[in-house]
Copies of this chain bind each other. A is one copy, B any other.
Amino acid sequence: MFSLLDIIGTMAFAMSGALTAMNKRLDPFGVFIIAFVTAVGGGTVRDVLIGRTPVGWMLDLKYVYVIILGFILSVIFRKKFDKLRTSLFLFDTIGLGVFTLIGLERGIITGLHPIICIALGTMTACFGGVTRDILCNEIPVIFRREIYATICILGGIVFFALKKLNLNDDILYLVTCVVIILVRLMAVKYKWYLPALEHKR
């Protein structure tokens, strides 16, 4: 099931990348690359920083196929994205939860400190979107408006707090994932956001 969620998340991220790229009027190759980078960018940066190479998607082609499918669906249904907005948002939120967990797990396997594991979880979930925005010549959206990365950090803290209780691993993963997804849904519904920090009056 975890693996299915991983695929849903990858596809949602790929489609969010394709959508942004089509908004910028890129050509099909550009759209595909942005979709690809949005989907695997976070995990790729994580793998490179911890020295797990060749990076994940080079060894498990499942991701490549899912992204190709997400790209094709995005192109076909590009006129209907408005109607799909809610589903896409839900999938993206699932991706947020699952990718954070994958990053946390990878950090633990590598034997890193919990703070670094939380950084890796956040990176896995968020850096694909950051790379997408840089390639599209925008200041990354997660630095400006949305509570997004903050939710991943919160999820990581919940994860390690629950881990201290010696919970069963399945429950630990499920609860963390559900917390991330619920907080994201509430953050969007109730328009929670972090205020901009200004230093000039």
Hey, which bits of chain A sit against chain B, CB under 8 A? 19, 21-31, 33-34, 44, 48-51, 53-55, 58-59, 61, 64, 75, 78-79, 81, 110, 112-113, 115-116, 130, 134-140, 142-145, 147, 149-150, 193-201
Number of copies: 3
Residues of B within 8 A of A112 (CB): 54, 58-59
Query: Are the C-beta atoms of B199 and A79 separated by less than 8 Å?
Result: yes
Query: Are the C-beta atoms of A54 and B64 separated by less than 8 Å?
Result: no
Please measure, in the bound complex, the distance between the C-alpha atom of A25 and the C-alpha atom of B197, giving whole angstroms: 6
A104 CB, min distance to chain B CBs, angstroms: 14
Please measure, in the bound complex, the distance between the C-alpha atom of A201 and the C-alpha atom of B113, giving whole angstroms: 50
Residues of B within 8 A of A116 (CB): 54, 58, 61, 64
Name the one of B33, B34, B49, B145 contacting A54, with C-beta atoms under 8 angstroms: B49
